[in-house]
Amino acid sequence: MTSIFMLSCGSKSTYVETVDENIDQDGFTYQVDQFGDFKIMRYQVPGFDELDLNNKILVYYLSEAAKAGDEITWDQNYKHNLLIKRTLETIVENYSGDRETEDWNNFMVYTKQVWFAKGIHHHYSKDKFLPKISEEYFEMLIKKSNKGNFPLEKGEKVKDLISKLTPILFDPEIDAKTVSLDSDNDLITASANNFYEDVTQKEVEDFYAKMKNEADTTPISYGLNSKVVKVNGEVHEQLYKIDGMYGAAIEKIVYWLEKALPYTETEVQKQSLEALIAYYKSGDLRTFDEYCVLWVKDVDSRVDVVNGFTETYGDPMGMKATWEAVVNFKDLEGTKRTEIISSNAQWFEDNSPVNPNYKKKEVKGVTAKVITTVQLGGDCYPTTPIGINLPNADWIRANHGSKSVTMDNITYAYDQAALGSGYTEEFSWDEEEVALVKKYGHAAGNIHTDLHECLGHGSGQLAAGTSPEALQNYSSALEETRADLFALYYIMDPKMVELGLLPSLDAAKAEYIGYIKNGLMTQLRRVELGKNIEQAHMRNRQLISSWCYEQAKADSIIEKKSRDGKTFFVINDFEKLRSLIGELLTEVQRIKSEGDFEAGKALVEGYGVQVDPELHKEVLDRVEVLKLASFGGFMNPEFIPVMEGEEIIDVKVEYPSNYVKQMMDYSKKYGVLPTYN
């Protein structure tokens, strides 16, 4: 899946250039909470009331399935997360002491951050964050919550829980990073995620090397839905399935998916959900591939869903997938633009600047739509992509096509929450820039996402004999780079105006301005001072912007300017910048097509990782003055069935605004996994 904060299933997008402030728009409050560097927003579901009853019921059941698996992602992120989560929530519910102190406020900020990240590691940097309370206060919180049912192991006392959790929460050296991409270290032993236990990187590589058949032209996604462990000296997998690991949650997911089957809109949609259910029951990745093919073919249904073990960003090896869900329905008017893009997919592929040997001779099954998001789950809640492109398997994309979506009501909510923040003015060189970004920013950003998801991830092809895993820990960053370059190259093409997708190339200029500014400077607000960039999408954006800036400096294509002690990056020649983007696209496609690990590593490490400490501090200082939250997430709407006896006669949508209450309610209703596995 892709963006702008981008993620990737084939790709996920998640960078949104706009930022923060709590302002009512159209009678609706979009931002409802802010704590630390995080804000919580709400999104509306326009058009839901106009859906027919069958679609409404389908949305309701799929939404319940989306929430049923939420705890899986917690446990995948870190093996102690469920224990921590349940301990914190027991305190929130039962603490009998003073709740008006600075210590209590700091505890609640930490708890909300843990909810936001689905664990004690930052969702972007993957670094462990520490509570701003003392160990003694934490102990007191537990002791003054004695009416609570703490998650104790058999024979364990509360004092044992305190002794166990205190070093995990407060010692910065214990499990310091949930995902380490430093190729100088063992990627697995240096990462605290829960995809592996008691195994090394070499043992995992050897384990899967024995399974793979290089002659297989339709390989399964090895290791996608399992944990690798060593027992009695033997390495083996624990499969995620209904009678295996995470079985209690998967059973609930399957229950709601089966309830949804009678309300599917087409035969192929029914078959795809049946295949998904069969996959959850068996854990068989061949069945998962069957599901993916059917899901790609389901292009006529109004309601759609992503549900499963999908994204591999949380695994430094790029194999294991976190669980996620997105329920949505097609925005019929907005989809007209993506249909124009997908119907011209072959033209875009043919006119790409990349080596002809690495272009698809025939682009198959590119389906794109604009969607209205109705429910988020797992790795997509509360932080969500703004675009998705699936499936991930290259052979499915080549033989059967892909499906791309742009999440329009999510980008709209971001924009509405950002009005009046002063962010655009602070980082723009002049009023001309401000005017361009304000006039065209939202529309151009959506077109960028459309191109990135619909065409970028589906473009190009691997050379014969190239392994999809050849780029290893740099694969995600390079794939997002490739898709972004494709979008940036074409958004400045006159074809976009000819097709009616942009009113003029001034809109493309607005996207270039925002992208380069973000990649070179403003995204650094999401990085702790003194740290380098770890997150794949951030590496991608800095790689593109820094590479172009370095090539462009001599000719002042991009110029670094200073005014009143503040830094600005100004584009002086948009056409020449587009040519540079085309050059980099050609090279990145070559790297992917040939599996050139060393060249890919050199690009990512050379341009995407290192941070200028002086510029970094400047950005943080400027953002601090504006009081902007750097990270945004969303509460889900609630879908309430209206019953007449045993029959659902309608489904109503409500928009809760209490983040703490939603998290506590979710834990009580959907918290089915054992604390200790």
The least confident of 21-30, 320-329, 342-351, 622-631 is: 21-30
Q: pLDDT confidence of 116, banded at 50, 70, 90? A: very high
Number of structural domains (the chain) is 1
Q: Average pLDDT of 632-655? A: 97
Picking from 492, 497, 474, the residue whose alpha carbon sits closest to that of residue 581 is 492
Is residue 48 one of the residues assigned to a domain?
yes
pLDDT at 554: 86
Q: Average pLDDT of 344-364? A: 94
Q: pLDDT confidence of 26, banded at 50, 70, 90? A: low
Is residue 413 one of the residues assigned to a domain?
yes
Residue with tokens 């700091």: 106
Distance CA 441, CA 511 (A): 6
Report helix, strand or coil for 526. helix
Instruction: Name the most confidently modeled range: 27-36, 274-283, 453-462.
Output: 274-283
Question: Looking at the predicted structure, is the pLDDT value of residue 583 above 70?
Answer: yes
pLDDT digits (tens, 9 = 90+) for 127-145: 999 999 999 999 999 999 9
pTM of the entire predicted model: 0.84
Distance CA 489, CA 495 (A): 11
pLDDT at 11: 42
Q: 230 phi and psi, to 5 degrees?
A: -115, 125
pLDDT at 518: 95
Question: Looking at the predicted structure, is the pLDDT value of residue 616 above 50?
Answer: yes
Q: pLDDT confidence of 264, banded at 50, 70, 90? A: very high
pLDDT at 141: 97
pLDDT at 14: 39
Higher pLDDT, 154 or 56: 56
Q: Percentage of the chain with pLDDT > 70?
A: 96
Query: Alpha carbon of 32 to those of 143, 250, 439, 606, 632: distances in Å?
Result: 31, 31, 26, 40, 11
pLDDT at 213: 87
The DSSP bridge pattern shows strands 196-197 and 226-231 to be: parallel
Question: Looking at the predicted structure, is the pLDDT value of residue 15 above 90?
Answer: no
pLDDT digits (tens, 9 = 90+) for 461-512: 999 989 888 998 899 899 999 999 999 999 999 999 999 999 999 999 999 9
Structural domain including 530 reads 5-70+244-634
pLDDT at 60: 98
Contact 326, 13 (CB under 8 A): no
Q: Average pLDDT of 96-117? A: 97
Is residue 359 one of the residues assigned to a domain?
yes
Is residue 183 one of the residues assigned to a domain?
no
The DSSP bridge pattern shows strands 631-635 and 638-644 to be: unpaired
pLDDT at 335: 92
Question: Looking at the predicted structure, is the pLDDT value of residue 75 above 90?
Answer: yes
Q: Percentage of the chain with pLDDT > 90?
A: 79
Higher pLDDT, 70 or 12: 70
The alpha carbon of 126 is separated from its chain's Cα centroid by a whole number of angstroms, namely 13
DSSP state of 100: S
pLDDT at 604: 97
Is residue 392 one of the residues assigned to a domain?
yes
**Polymer length of the chain:** 677
Question: Looking at the predicted structure, is the pLDDT value of residue 664 above 90?
Answer: yes
pLDDT digits (tens, 9 = 90+) for 626-639: 888 889 999 999 99
Q: 390 phi and psi, to 5 degrees?
A: -140, 165
Is residue 128 one of the residues assigned to a domain?
no
pLDDT at 214: 81
pLDDT digits (tens, 9 = 90+) for 182-213: 888 999 999 999 999 999 999 999 999 999 98
Is residue 308 one of the residues assigned to a domain?
yes
Is residue 21 one of the residues assigned to a domain?
yes
pLDDT at 25: 53
Contact 425, 44 (CB under 8 A): no
Question: Looking at the predicted structure, is the pLDDT value of residue 18 above 50?
Answer: no
The mean pLDDT value of the chain amounts to: 92
Q: Average pLDDT of 4-33? A: 52
Higher pLDDT, 320 or 12: 320
Distance CA 613, CA 597 (A): 28
Interior/surface letters 526-540, b for 16+ CB within 10 angstroms, e for the rest: bbeeeebbbbbbbbb
